[in-house]
Structure 1
Amino acid sequence: MTESSQTRRDDRIPVGISACLQGREVRHDGGHKHSRYCTEVLSRYFRFRSLCPEMGAGLSTPRPAMHLVDTEQGVRLRATRGDKDFTDLMEGFVAGALEGLADLRGFVLMAKSPSCGMERIRVYREDGEVGRRDASGLFAGALMERYPLMPVEEEGRLNDDRLRENFVERVFIYDDWCRLREAGLTPGGLIEFHSRHKFQLLAHCEATYRRLGPMLADLKNRPLDEIADDYIAAFMPAMAKRISPGAHVNTMLHLVGFLRDQLEQADLTLIHEQIEAYRRGEVPLVVPMTLLRGAQSKVGQPYLARQRYLNPYPDALGLRNRV
């Protein structure tokens, strides 16, 4: 997947984003939380659609700071000072907005927000003390419940090299899945999807890899849509798991097995040396992966040529340089 193929037309992947991360002055204090990584790097491949739930609910900026409060009526969104309650406004907006987000392939959220925070949001007791720190913001929680397969990440967590790489990889895979469904599901299309992503799945979760292959072995024993729903419901959570260096090594060695009979011994030795160097933490993943891609290109191995594990996203993002 080259940069030119992604950017020659505006076929960038549609991804949602909290509006403040695009530099829009929509926060309660009239400020923003501009993410240059999103607007200057990811925007070359993602067509961001911004949304601020609080502004969408009809609130102005500046506005009172808000937090979540546990009450007898459930969790409420209230002003941090005084008892003004914004829950009904927010829930009304969310209920109307979610339907229009079905075409998105991912969402980047603002952390710590009582509306957009993905996780670890504080919920206060009515006496003003923190009761727990395990909630999602009202919009974020509803988004993840409505679209459980959609990759969702907080902007701050994108500073972590592995979390950033994982999120981008999942967005490209989810986009591939959505395109498959939009084009019309067929048995051949489902098998092809699994075939091109199987080594990514192996790296993320070998147990799921071993379970999903047999699920597709007989596509006539159940309705195809039912099989596809069960398949992707297991596939996407597996892809959210972090890949250990050992899992990458195991997967790369599987790929080497397809090349062994076609490469000269010197080439094989070099690939094995760099895989071991990666295992020891001496080189980043991009080093052995580049050798594998070069070897595949050299011998023209057709099965490996289809594997997205070798090219999961545009090289220009440099994501494997740091993992």
Structure 2
Amino acid sequence: MDTAEKIPVGISACLLGMEVRHDGGHKHSRYCTGVLAKHFSFRSLCPEMGSGLSTPRKALRLIEQGDQLRMVTTDGLRDHTDLMMDFVDRTLPALDSLRGFILMAKSPSCGMERVKVYREDGELMHRDAAGLFAAGLKQAYPLMPIEEAGRLNDDSLRENFIERVFLYDDWCQLVAGGLTPQRLIDFHSRHKFQLLAHCQRTYRELGPMLANLKARPLEEIANDYIHAVMEAMKKQVSRGAHVNTLQHMAGFLREGLSQEDRTLINEQIDAYLREDVPLIVPMTLLRGALRKVDQPYLQAQRYLNPYPDSLGLRNRV
């Protein structure tokens, strides 16, 4: 893909193989550089280097001081919190073009979750904090898909993150092109079956929200809408939810297909439910059926093509 066609995604610099860690090393993610880089245009940063620290440097950790988290060296001699927060405040406004972010786990700056927090005397208190940069990123961009590199080794988490990045990119393009009632309705229409798969409750709630776009200012409705969508998309799709969605789509094609085609599709949906085949098998049959049946509503559904096939994600779920 041409760089201009790739989706802009932020990433911790060490994951690209840059030697920016406290020990002068890196945490190169070959999946990010070898697979995702074909589709994502990565913008790398290292908050610790960006805040003025050198490499190698003293290792850092978070300590709880009153009701505040502080980032200090492990020997407790230097407090770099103010430097880090200055970097965060300066950097976050320039990240609004990004459609997602991949972070380095457990880092006191980049860890998305499960970061250790210590007492001032060095005793471990808990493991449920976010790094200072990661916390600022989540607060500034609540809609942006964020994930840790290590969690991308999990098939379901990887598929979920990448699906959200592509959907968020679609939303950002809508906003950049100008929000209108029709464009909002069109966005909802093409992502309907994704919503159905991820969260039936949100799927049912959003229809009435968009039924009367004159009830409130359009920007207000759109803001409530996309927050609900992105929250629903965080939920991993169960096998049963995929089956329900596949069967729902197959119902739209019932009249235009032969009995043989309908039977084959249903057999492979059942095989997927039994875990005999991956999701890509019944999905491919449905996509093939759409070449035989003129069904524009289904053809527009991003559920069938949420991201490039070359990523191979539905071969693993």
TM range (shorter): over 0.9
Contact map agreement 2:3 2:41 (CA 8 A) in 1: no
Who is 1:100 aligned against?
Answer: 94
What is the CA–CA distance in structure 1 between the aligned matches of 2:126 and 2:193, rounded to whole Å?
39
Alpha-carbon RMSD: 0.8
1:234 aligns with 2:228: yes
Q: Can you list the C-alpha shifts for 1:30-77, whole angstroms capped at 9, x where unaligned?
A: 000001110110011100000100000000000000000011262100
What is the CA–CA distance in structure 2 between the aligned matches of 1:205 and 1:152, rounded to whole Å?
19
Q: SS where residue 131 of structure 1 aligns?
A: strand
What is the CA–CA distance in structure 1 between the aligned matches of 2:273 and 2:88, rounded to whole Å?
46
Letter in structure 2 aligned against 1:185: L
What is the CA–CA distance in structure 2 between the aligned matches of 1:164 and 1:73, rounded to whole Å?
34
1:23 aligns with 2:17: yes
Measure how far apart 1:82 and its partner are. 3.4
Q: SS where residue 126 of structure 2 aligns?
A: strand
- The residue correspondences of 1:27-38 to structure 2 (distance < 5 A) are 27-38=21-32
Measure how far apart 1:215 and its partner are. 0.5
What is the CA–CA distance in structure 1 between the aligned matches of 2:212 and 2:255, rounded to whole Å?
31
1:61 aligns with 2:55: yes
Q: SS where residue 111 of structure 1 aligns?
A: coil
What is the CA–CA distance in structure 1 between the aligned matches of 2:176 and 2:9, rounded to whole Å?
17
Q: Which moved more, 1:162-171 or 1:71-80?
A: 71-80
Who is 2:6 aligned against?
Answer: 12
**Which residue among 285, 288, 295 is the counterpart of 1:294?**
288
What is the CA–CA distance in structure 2 between the aligned matches of 1:320 and 1:21, rounded to whole Å?
25
**Which residue among 260, 268, 274 is the counterpart of 1:280?**
274
Q: Can you list the C-alpha shifts for 1:221-270, whole angstroms capped at 9, x where unaligned?
A: 11100000000011101001010000000000110011000000000000
**Which residue among 303, 306, 317 is the counterpart of 1:309?**
303
Q: Can you list the C-alpha shifts for 1:255-300, whole angstroms capped at 9, x where unaligned?
A: 0011000000000000000000000111100000000100012213
Aligned residues: 317
Measure how far apart 1:8 and its partner are. 5.0
**Which residue among 182, 193, 206 is the counterpart of 1:199?**
193
Which TM-score applies when normalising by structure 1?
Answer: 0.97
Who is 1:129 aligned against?
Answer: 123
What is the CA–CA distance in structure 1 between the aligned matches of 2:2 and 2:75, rounded to whole Å?
51
Gap regions ≥5 residues in structure 1: 1-6
What is the CA–CA distance in structure 2 between the aligned matches of 1:300 and 1:164, rounded to whole Å?
33
Who is 2:42 aligned against?
Answer: 48
**Which residue among 218, 225, 245 is the counterpart of 1:224?**
218
**Which residue among 158, 161, 168 is the counterpart of 1:164?**
158
Which TM-score applies when normalising by structure 2?
Answer: 0.99
Who is 1:3 aligned against?
Answer: none
Measure how far apart 1:212 and its partner are. 0.3
Gap regions ≥5 residues in structure 2: none
What is the CA–CA distance in structure 2 between the aligned matches of 1:303 and 1:141, rounded to whole Å?
40
Q: SS where residue 211 of structure 2 aligns?
A: coil
Contact map agreement 2:110 2:133 (CA 8 A) in 1: yes
Who is 1:4 aligned against?
Answer: none
Higher relative contact order by CA 8 Å / sep ≥ 6: 1 or 2?
A: 1
Aligned-residue identity in percent? 69
What is the CA–CA distance in structure 1 between the aligned matches of 2:58 and 2:30, rounded to whole Å?
27
Letter in structure 2 aligned against 1:110: M
Runs of 4+ aligned structure 1 residues displaced above 4 Å come to none
Who is 2:33 aligned against?
Answer: 39
